[in-house]
């Protein structure tokens, strides 16, 4: 019996991946530095702290890791506060789960203030028992730490918990750790077929 649901935010609940696809490059450009063409793909597997460390080590060693982190955050802050929107059907889908008594949380590589701002603006914050971040967990989604923390937050177990994700590495991590996984394909996901193959359920949309 499903009692809990863990949602990724970017590309799963909200159509915010375009912001992140270019955030690292936009930050580097503001500092007068050219980036590799596939930088968005490289950074997509990392937490914000990991991404900041990578950019510092690879492109701008004169910057502190914290300065790089704040630079990236500055690029996306306004987008979360003023423009990014949930995917079509998400509000009604969350409401349907809540009516069935399913407890929900968010597990994200983004930072908490950004997620809170977007949820508040769209009136969705009340659906979630909490927001778990990779930065707080100390690991990206290539490790199952954040998903295990979600179990504790939601007072659930793996067999009763769905994990909704759009990213291949996150789906693979959750599935390998024994979770039941739901692929929510995103138009910006570059590994779509592999994403679908890695999940237990394919959810084409939230309608």
Q: Is residue 159 a contact partner of residue 179, using CB atoms and an 8 Å limit?
A: no
Q: CATH for 4-16+84-202?
A: 3.40.50.1000
Lowest mean per-residue pLDDT among 34-38, 119-123, 128-132, 157-161:
34-38
Among the listed residues 13, 70, 79, 8, the one whose alpha carbon sits nearest the alpha carbon of residue 44 = 8
Q: First and final CA of the chain: distance in angstroms?
A: 22
The answer, as to whether pTM is greater than 0.75, is yes
Q: What are the pLDDT digits (tens) for 18-27?
A: 887 889 998 9
Q: Is residue 171 a contact partner of residue 190, using CB atoms and an 8 Å limit?
A: no
Instruction: Locate 171 and state its tokens.
Output: 């789906």
Mean pLDDT of the chain: 92
- What is the crossing angle of helices 65-82 and 48-58, to 10°? 130
pLDDT (average), residues 141-146: 96
pLDDT of residue 187: 66
């Amino acid at each position: 019996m499903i009692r809990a649901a863990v949602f990724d935010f970017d590309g799963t609940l909200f159509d915010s991946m375009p912001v992140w696809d270019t955030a690292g490059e936009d930050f580097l450009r503001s500092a007068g530095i050219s980036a590799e063409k596939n930088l968005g793909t490289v950074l997509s597997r990392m937490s914000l702290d990991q991404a900041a460390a990578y950019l510092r080590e690879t492109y701008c060693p004169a910057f502190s890791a914290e300065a790089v982190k704040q630079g990236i955050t500055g690029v996306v802050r306004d987008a979360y506060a003023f423009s990014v929107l949930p995917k079509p059907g998400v509000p009604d889908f969350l409401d349907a789960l809540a009516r069935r008594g399913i407890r929900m949380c968010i597990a994200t590589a983004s930072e908490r203030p950004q997620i809170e701002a977007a949820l508040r603006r769209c009136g969705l914050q009340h659906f979630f028992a909490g927001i778990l971040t990779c930065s707080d967990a100390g690991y990206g989604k290539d490790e199952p730490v954040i998903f295990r923390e979600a179990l504790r937050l939601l007072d659930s177990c793996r067999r009763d918990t769905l994990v909704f994700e759009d990213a291949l590495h996150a789906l693979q991590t959750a599935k390998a750790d024994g979770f039941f996984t739901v692929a929510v394909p995103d138009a910006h996901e570059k590994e779509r077929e592999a994403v679908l193959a890695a999940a237990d359920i394919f959810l084409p949309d939230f309608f």
